[in-house]
Amino acid sequence: MQKWIMSGLFFAACVVAIVLMVTLPGKEDVAQEEKPSMPEVKLDAAAAEATVKAQGCLSCHGDQLQGSVGPNLQKIGSQLSAEEIYTIITKGKGGMPSFKDKLKSEEIANVAQWLAAKK
Ligand code: HEC
């Protein structure tokens, strides 16, 4: 009788462990897919250029945004909207680091609009 209870408990613990393993990373994925919403800012091109220089964007995207480690951004506005660029800078993507801890969302929005205007 006691053996039966022990194996029952063991089985229940396994079920709980499996459920946790399946659901925990799943929840994280959902959070990752959420799109951060871009604050509305008036484009300030000089400030955007200063941010891009100060944050080392140019070390990966080239001093003329012509691309090196990261892709060419000279005509990025014809491929991506300001919101999409905002999401990439905020969250990062592949080899592209996230800047949400380094920049204010307004600064990211300004850079995103500046890049989105490059067509
Ligand atoms: C450590 C190198 C690095 C730095 C620093 C960096 N990037 Fe990137 N960036 C990348 C790489 C690599 C990609 C390509 C990511 C991918 O598509 O997997 C990328 C992608 C992008 C894209 C999307 C381009 C496309 O064609 O999809 C934008 C926009 C961008 N970066 C802007 C910026 C801005 C603005 C900064 C500075 C705030 C910056 N990056 C800093 C490496 C970098």
Residues with CB under 6 A from ligand 1: 52, 55-57, 59-61, 69-71, 73, 76, 79, 85, 88-89, 93-97, 99, 111, 115
- DSSP assignments along 27-74, one per residue: HHHHHHHSPPPPPP----HHHHHHHHHHTTHHHHH-TTS--SSSPP-T
- What is the residue whose two structure tokens read 């005509």? 75
Q: Is 1.10.760.10 the CATH number for 45-116?
A: yes
Please tell me the predicted confidence (pLDDT) of residue 74: 98
- 3-class SS at 96? strand
Is the Cβ–Cβ distance between 92 and 114 less than 8 Å? Answer: no
Please tell me the predicted confidence (pLDDT) of residue 11: 77
57 is annotated as contributing to ligand binding: yes
What are the structural domain ranges in the chain?
A: 1-34, 45-116
pLDDT tens column, 30-88: 555 578 899 999 999 999 999 999 999 999 999 999 999 999 999 999 999 999 999 99
- What is the residue whose two structure tokens read 């000279």? 74
